[in-house]
Amino acid sequence: MKAKAKVTINDIAKAAGVSTTTVSRYINGKEELMSEQTRNRIKTVIELLDYHPSDIARSLRNQKSNMIGVLIADVSSPFSSAIIIGIERVLVSNGYTPLFLNCSENKQREEQYIRSLIFKKVDGLIVNTTSADNKFLISLACQGFPIVLCDRFVRDYNFNIVTNKDNEMIRSFVMHLKEQGFTRLAFFVQPWSDNSTRYRRRDAFLASVHEIYGYLPENDIYVIDVNDKDCVIAQLKKFLSSLSQDDIPAIIGTNSVSTMCVYKAITKLGLSMPDDIGLCGPDDWDWNNGMNWPEIVHTNITTATIYAKELGERAAKLLLERIAAPDELPSEILLPNPLVIRDSTLRIRNK
């Protein structure tokens, strides 16, 4: 049987009724130069013809460019900025040029940027992915393209990844709150279904409370919009209204942003920490001591330390190792997250 011919840009252009230049613009992320109808037509043809940048990646594998594509889900957070600093530090010191792209939590944009990067002949990818369900990344990895995930997992494939010990971190929060006499816990989280970090921490909260407190807190998970302070206040009021007279409540935020939003809501309602309510959460901003937000605010906030710069550094080092030795088995590097206890949860002192 004759082998199936590899799909080319010419095939896509012919099927979509456009020029090869237009197809190239689409692949390289220059969608603003064409109509929505043209964009949709090219996208449909690419999907129907099962065209993947991995087809090109195979032919480029031995052509070193010394460029690395770095996909960041959302560069607007201090956490992402710290990751970028770590990645850049390692890549530049090893003679590589990092190409950073902000995906704005958009899975389609992430895919399109990756296609563009592969056309630019990058030697590998570091991906802080927008989606835990990512068949596109899996298809690239299956064909041998060097990829390392940073912080966030992808389901159904064993990627090289550098991330945190989320289960241990959340369990340490729950154990600490139990020791401090809090009797009812809640978990405040941004929308989590596509974000592996958030749903891992959510699952860890459910499991840890069940293990340590003996009940399953399915009704004590509150989804918040961190851009809507009224939403956070409303969810806090909902939690407080669910308490019994003898409950001593505490909240765990899923990250620095959610924890800060809950802190503002607690302050807005005139509640005192830790007397009226406890609060803790990960500190993932990795700022220097002079900008240590959990110690600047009053009351100081109990946190678990996340080494965001080191996450980036380790991800970059792991990718360079895999480029040099592509046949090595995938590695999962988990960084520790030590608990830093401060006033917001300290009901029992000198224990």
Distance, CA of 144 to CA of 246 (rounded, Å): 58
- 152 assigned to some structural domain: no
Asked whether residue 106 is assigned to any structural domain, the reply reads no
Bond preceding residue 21 cis, omega within 30 of 0: no
Q: Both ends of the chain: CA-CA distance in Å?
A: 76
208, 341: one domain: yes
Distance CA 7, CA 13 (A): 11
* Of 78, 119, 85, 111, nearest in space to 100 by CA: 85
93 domain residue, yes or no? no
Place of tokens 């494939």: 157
Q: Which domain holds residue 193?
A: 166-307+337-345
The CATH number given to whatever domain includes residue 11 is 1.10.260.40
117 falls within a domain: no
Pairing of strands 302-305, 339-340: antiparallel
Q: Domain with 237 in it: what CATH number?
A: 3.40.50.2300
DSSP-H helix ranges across 62-195: 78-93, 107-119, 135-142, 166-179
**Number of structural domains found in the chain:** 2
Provide the residue-wise pLDDT of the chain in tens; the chain has 351 residues: 444 566 777 788 888 888 877 887 787 667 777 888 888 888 888 878 777 655 444 444 456 889 999 999 999 988 999 999 999 999 999 999 999 999 999 999 999 999 999 988 899 999 999 999 999 999 899 888 999 999 999 998 999 999 999 999 999 999 999 999 999 999 999 998 889 999 999 999 999 999 999 999 999 999 999 999 999 999 999 999 999 999 999 999 999 999 999 999 999 999 999 999 999 999 988 766 555 677 768 889 999 999 999 999 999 999 999 999 988 999 999 999 999 999 999 998 764
Whether 170 is in a domain gets the answer yes
pLDDT for residue 17: 87
**Which distant-in-sequence residues (6+ apart) come within 8 Å of 134 by Cβ?**
107, 154, 155
Residue 1 falls inside a structural domain: yes
34 and 180 share a domain?
no
Q: End of a domain among 16, 32, 51?
A: 51
Confidence at residue 344, expressed as pLDDT on a 0 to 100 scale: 97
Backbone angles phi, psi at 278, to 5 degrees: -100, 155
Q: Provide φ and ψ at 169, rounded to 5°.
A: -65, -50
Q: Are residues 174 and 297 in the same domain?
A: yes
Query: Strands, E, within 173-298: which ranges?
Result: 184-189, 221-223, 249-253, 278-283
From residue 117, give the alpha-carbon distance in Å to each of 87, 122, 125, 306.
17, 6, 9, 29
Give 152's DSSP letter: -
| Residue 223 neighbours by CB distance under 10 Å | 17
- DSSP code at position 297: S
